[in-house]
Amino acid sequence: MTEPAPLRPLARSGAEPSYRRVFVRDLVLSCAIGVHAHEQHAPQRVRINVELMVAEEERHLRDRIENVVSYEHIVDGVRAITGESHINLVETLAERIAGLCLADRRVARVRVSVEKLDIYAEAASVGVEIERVRGDG
């Protein structure tokens, strides 16, 4: 089977490609996460934010969902990842979510933040934010 043609972002004025920002903000899920003994026995709340930079292809949207990167697919994928099995690190969860997003060849860049919400009474959250670009190892 042949590889699909490389993505050619739509260039509007000049040589600059055009991008669409797709996002999921403040998705709060229950997740089995953490390295400490007390975190091994009960799930905890995490807040997840995902921002995708999606290259606009040289075709019309035609008002059809299959012609866009769907936030529904991202939310369903994040739910599946958080429900699979225990994850030790918020960094690992963020990397798995970034991988899910970059599996769609239209996604050029993804930023993911994962926050634990109930760790310190004095802090609203603790966590990590990563950014990955298509082609990064």
Report pLDDT digits (tens) over 101-127.
999 999 999 999 999 999 999 999 999
For 19-133, CATH number out of 3.40.50.300, 3.40.50.40, 3.40.50.720, 3.30.1130.10 equals 3.30.1130.10
Please state the rounded mean pLDDT for residues 74-91: 97
pLDDT at 4: 44
**Is residue 5 pLDDT above 60, yes or no?**
no
Counting DSSP H helices and E strands in the chain, the numbers are 2, 4
Say how many C-beta atoms besides its own lie within 10 A of residue 108's C-beta: 17
Give the E-state strand segments of 15-125 in sequence order: 19-31, 44-55, 107-116
CA gap 13, 17 in Å, rounded: 9
In total, the chain counts a number of residues equal to: 137
The mean predicted confidence, pLDDT, of the chain is 89
Q: Is the four-CA dihedral 2, 56, 94, 44 of positive or negative sign? A: negative
Summarize pLDDT for 22-61 with one digit per residue, the tens.
999 999 999 999 999 999 989 999 999 999 999 887 667 7
pTM of the model: 0.85
**Is residue 7 pLDDT above 90, yes or no?**
no
